[in-house]
Structure 1
Amino acid sequence: MNGLTSSAPSQSAIRLTVSGFLLMLVQSTLLLMSPALGDDAGTVIWTLTPLAISVFVAALIGIPEPAEGHWRQRHGR
Structure 2
Amino acid sequence: MNGLISSTPSSSAIRLTVSGFLLMLIQSGLLLLSPALDRDSGMLIWILTPLSFCAFVAALIGIPEPARDQWRQHHGR
TM over 0.5, shorter chain: yes
Aligned residues: 76
- Deviation of the 1:75 alpha carbon: 8.5
**Where does structure 2 lack aligned partners over 5 or more consecutive residues?**
none
Question: 1:63 is matched with which residue?
Answer: 63
Letter matched to residue 55 of structure 1: A
Q: Deviations over 1:27-56 (max 9, x none)?
A: 000000001110000010000000000000
Q: Which has the higher helix share?
A: 2
Separation of aligned partners in 1, 2:75 and 2:7: 38
- State which drifts further: 64-73 or 1-10: 64-73
Q: Quote the RMSD (CA, aligned, Å).
A: 1.6
Separation of aligned partners in 2, 1:74 and 1:25: 40
- Deviation of the 1:72 alpha carbon: 1.1
Q: What's the TM-score, normalizing by structure 1?
A: 0.94
Question: 2:46 is matched with which residue?
Answer: 46
**Where does structure 1 lack aligned partners over 5 or more consecutive residues?**
none
